Amino acid sequence: MKITDVKPFPVWIGHRNQLVVKVETDEGIFGWGESGLSGRELAVVGAIQHYAEFLRGRDPMQTGALWQEMYRSQYFEGGRVLQAAISAIDIALHDIKGKALGVPVYDLLGGKQRDHIPTFASTSAPEAAGMIEQAQNLKAAGWTAIRFFPDFRDTGGIFEPREHIAKTARACVQAREALGDEVVLGIDWHHRLSVAEAASFCQKMPSGTLDFLEEPIRDETPEAYEALRKLTDVPFAIGEEFASKWQFLPFIERDIHQFNRIDLCNVGGLTEAMKVAGWSEAHYVDLMPHNPLGPICTAATIHMSAAVANFSWLETRVNANDLYGGGQTDDVFTLQPKLQGTVYPVANTPGLGIEIDEKALTREAFKFWEAPHLKRRDGSVTNW
């Protein structure tokens, strides 16, 4: 079996872009993958087109060798654009291999260790009352792991950390009181804070209020996280932006964090993710996968999550139409994972278990989208 083509599909589905990739073979077996790096999809398309030039004619079953060749053969190894491209291709190659062998992808990764995948759900309200109400509704629906994700997009493009950390800390304390001790409660700051701001936020709450603190500061400097680690006892959830095992290395080996927010569509696909998973297991770090994209990302992450021992929760949307909009995802993704209550069942369909109406896919046009460009009141740029 040989690869005949690698086709990127940058499309807008519902309320967001997705970069879907199809790898075709001369035996009629094809695989689907998905790339991350939201907002820079066309840059990834260019990388995929470069890789397609030497992937045509190659054996799709040689996933490990092809990963190494894609990563190492242009001299300038790695980087988020290239790794997002490799991720999509690698996921598609695993889909092909599973279909060719008649087994689900998790069997290629060592077999399943769980029959369903627990999830965590998120709030989106910016203010305390709305956050707590949404969290109570999620608890009533059966979720026992809930993440606060304060939405600052409606603040006129202004975000001042010190104006938010005190009231958000109070909201977390109130939420803990309202939800009880049995609910796992975390918050995602989307790397908007400094070390001092993140420490101040944590110190405004009683110990035990939060079960995890996600991406409080930027990740370029592990030493900054080490400094923050000394200032709070809240477990850290880090890694959704990491594009290789080497970016995870200092965080794992220095025992900086407790949850890996690994993103299959950015880290290098299943090949790289399984290496990070094993490394994490040796250091008692659990996987809490980042899953903000489309059904292909969800399906691939379910297979990985089924096959690893060190797993906590998979990020999910309570209602996929909240993200994709109006049921359009079902028109394109005719077979895809569906929540059963608060868990994803682990199916035994060969490959990823994804089916796509390609004609419907190609009808979806790409749209340029930019993440919110937030600024502080003095006009300086801050993180979204």
Catalytic positions, written as ranges: 190, 290
Residues 172, 126: Cα–Cα separation, whole Å: 12
Instruction: In whole angstroms, give the CA distance from residue 86 to residue 287.
Output: 21
Residue of 52, 49, 43, 39 lying closest to 79 (CA atoms)? 43
What the block records as the tokens of 2 is 């040989």
Pairing of strands 116-122, 343-345: antiparallel
Q: How far apart are CA 243 and CA 363, in angstroms?
A: 31
How far is residue 218's CA from residue 229's CA, in Å, rounded to a whole number? 14
Backbone angles phi, psi at 127, to 5 degrees: -105, 160
> What is the spatial distance between Cα 262 and Cα 239, in angstroms, rounded to a whole number?
6
Phi-psi domain of 297 (left: phi exceeds 0; alpha: psi -120 through 50; beta: other): alpha
Alpha helices in the chain (DSSP H): 41-55, 63-72, 80-101, 105-108, 128-140, 161-179, 195-203, 222-229, 245-253, 264-267, 269-282, 295-307, 320-324, 328-332, 358-362
Q: Are 112 and 289 in contact (CB under 8 A)?
A: no
Centroid of chain to Cα 265 = 7
CB atoms within 10 A of CB 188: 20
Q: What is the separation, in whole angstroms, between the first and last Cα of the chain? A: 45
Q: Which of 297, 262, 323, 324 minimizes the C-alpha distance to 32?
A: 297
